Amino acid sequence: MNSELEIIWKLAAALGIGLLIGIERGWHGREEDEGDRVAGIRTFSLVGLLGGITTTLIPHTGEWILGLAFLSLTALLVTSYIFELKIRDNEDIGITTEIALLLTFSLAAWAAMGYQLEALGCAVAVITILSLKPVLHQWLKKIEVEEIYAGIKLLVISVILLPLLPNQGYGPWESLNPYWIWWMVVLISGLSFIGYILLKYLDESWGTLLTSIIGGLASSTAVTISLADFAKQQKKTTIQIFIAGVLVASSIMFIRVIIEVSIVNSSLLYPLWVPIAVMLVLSLICVLWLWNQSAENDSDMKPTIELKNPLQLPTALKFGALLALILLLSTALEKWFGNRGIYLLALFSGLMDVDAITLSISQMAKQNLNSSVAVMGILLAVISNTLVKAGLFMFMAGVKKSRQLLWMILIICAGGILSMLFI
């Protein structure tokens, strides 16, 4: 690309950024009078072009011109804001548009420096944030102060404490790494918090299956217990949808395991993804069959799933202690009993929590544990946890009403084991 076309492309990207953000701001203030708006599509477009032109002048004038243009724009916006405050008699007004103008200039300059795709991507993020004002404000009204404080406490401890923790093994066989253990606590808490927030603050009109998908991110066991309690009150012919919800939550658990393994030890993804994929596909087939067999529509059956905020310090510390214990037991049993010790611990650990044993075995496989043993151990924990959830549902909802779940779970688990044996 010759120099003239390159300059045109850079300026076009800068102008495009101004147009994109300007369209959103112009639409947002479409009901205001022409003179009442701080900036519209034309102003944003011109600011974007200003950032692009200023950047292209740097080789001829020096870098000072970019800083001067940014400071001049900032001074202009500050002056405009002060005059607007006086006109509106010190009425409380926001500065979102002013900040968006400064971002437009910065992103346009970035694009003119040769980072067009990155700058345009950030511009899209800016537009998204600006357009989500009603949704974000609605969420803020629903957030409880305890949730904010709990999240802040864990984030502060994670950001401050994590870099200070020693990244080396301690204890028997040097199996306990404080840095790694706390990093895994942050990872699992983050995954669970995503599901917790989505389930609590999204539209309450979502049906059972969609609720199970979101709830499965936070806790598939909690989803199972809630669905079982709701199914207990229904007739036998109407609980298929709740059985399907349990299978959906278990399917999300399969995906969680893949995410955890890919982060801790991606070398285990093959052959682990094969049995996990088989179990996932079998689960979805059963869900579709149950959906078609369901006698009533799901729209009037929306069980409330009770979840605790996973970003609470006691919850995080308990998971960290459980992870440390399982990591120590895994190492000890592998040293004492070989592969059989790992398999036994995986089966029993899966009864309580599949995340801790998955993370522990994945970490051990990075050291001296055979990868095939690690994969089989994770699979056994997944199967154990799946069977426990089926047992909980059947016990709470009634064995006679939920016999379908038993043979479906057995088929799903058998498919996972057989696929693993034939790899």
Over the Cα atoms of the chain, what is R_g? 28
**Using the 8-state DSSP alphabet, how is residue 296 labeled?**
S
**Shared domain check, 150 and 68:** no
Domain boundary among 74, 109, 131: 131
Tokens found for residue 51: 């950032």
State the average pLDDT over residues 159-178. 71
Number of domains in the chain: 2
The packing angle between helices 240-264 and 371-397, to 10°, is: 160
Whether residue 258 contacts residue 250, with contact meaning beta carbons closer than 8 Å, is answered with no
**Shared domain check, 44 and 171:** no
**Shared domain check, 379 and 315:** yes
Q: How confident is the model at residue 155 (pLDDT cuts 50, 70, 90)?
A: confident
Q: How confident is the model at residue 299 (pLDDT cuts 50, 70, 90)?
A: very low
Whether residue 335 is contained in a domain is answered as yes
State the average pLDDT over residues 386-401. 81
**Shared domain check, 151 and 116:** no
**Shared domain check, 183 and 115:** no
pLDDT attached to residue 239: 73
Predicted confidence (pLDDT) at residue 18 exceeds the cutoff of 80: yes
**Shared domain check, 225 and 119:** no
Whether residue 381 contacts residue 350, with contact meaning beta carbons closer than 8 Å, is answered with yes
- Amino acid at the residue 137: H
| CB contact set of 195 (below 8 Å; sequence gap of 6+) | 214, 215, 216, 217, 218, 219, 307
- The pLDDT tens digits for 324-351 are 777 777 777 667 767 778 888 888 887 7
Predicted confidence (pLDDT) at residue 300 exceeds the cutoff of 60: no
Predicted confidence (pLDDT) at residue 298 exceeds the cutoff of 50: no
- The pLDDT tens digits for 355-369 are 888 888 888 888 778
**Shared domain check, 399 and 263:** yes
Q: How confident is the model at residue 406 (pLDDT cuts 50, 70, 90)?
A: confident
Whether residue 35 is contained in a domain is answered as yes
Whether residue 138 is contained in a domain is answered as no
Domain boundary among 102, 131, 160: 131
Domain boundary among 86, 102, 131: 131
Number of neighbouring beta carbons within 10 Å of residue 143 = 13
The whole-angstrom separation of Cα 304 and Cα 288 is 23
Q: What is the 3-state secondary structure (H, E, C) of 342-396?
A: HHHHHHHHHCCCHHHHHHHHHHHHCCCCCHHHHHHHHHHHHHHHHHHHHHHHHHH
Whether residue 220 contacts residue 192, with contact meaning beta carbons closer than 8 Å, is answered with no
- The pLDDT tens digits for 108-137 are 999 999 888 888 888 888 888 887 776 666
- Which residue in 404, 406, 415, 212 sits closest to 293, CA to CA? 404
- Which residue in 349, 191, 372 sits closest to 268, CA to CA? 372
pLDDT attached to residue 276: 92
Whether residue 42 is contained in a domain is answered as yes
**Shared domain check, 300 and 156:** yes
**Shared domain check, 232 and 83:** no
Element counts in the chain: helices (H) and strands (E): 18, 0
Share of the chain above pLDDT 90, in %: 7
**Shared domain check, 111 and 71:** yes
The least confident of 13-27, 99-113, 172-186, 187-201 is 187-201
Q: Which residue has the higher pLDDT, 329 or 417?
A: 417
pTM of the model: 0.61
Whether residue 136 is contained in a domain is answered as no
Q: Which residue has the higher pLDDT, 378 or 236?
A: 378
Q: How confident is the model at residue 139 (pLDDT cuts 50, 70, 90)?
A: low
Q: In which domain, by residue range, is 283 found? A: 144-421
- The pLDDT tens digits for 22-61 are 887 777 655 555 555 556 778 888 989 999 999 988 888 8
Q: How confident is the model at residue 282 (pLDDT cuts 50, 70, 90)?
A: very high
- Which residue in 274, 257, 255 sits closest to 265, CA to CA? 257
Whether residue 137 is contained in a domain is answered as no
**Shared domain check, 156 and 27:** no
Q: What angle do CA 27, 32, 36 make, to 5 degrees?
A: 115
Phi, psi of 176 (to 5 degrees): -105, 115
Predicted confidence (pLDDT) at residue 380 exceeds the cutoff of 60: yes
- The pLDDT tens digits for 308-323 are 666 666 767 777 777 6
Predicted confidence (pLDDT) at residue 90 exceeds the cutoff of 60: no
Widest CA span of the chain, in angstroms?
A: 83
**Shared domain check, 234 and 191:** yes
204 dihedral zone (left: phi>0; alpha: psi -120 to 50; beta): alpha
For the chain, what is the mean pLDDT?
A: 77
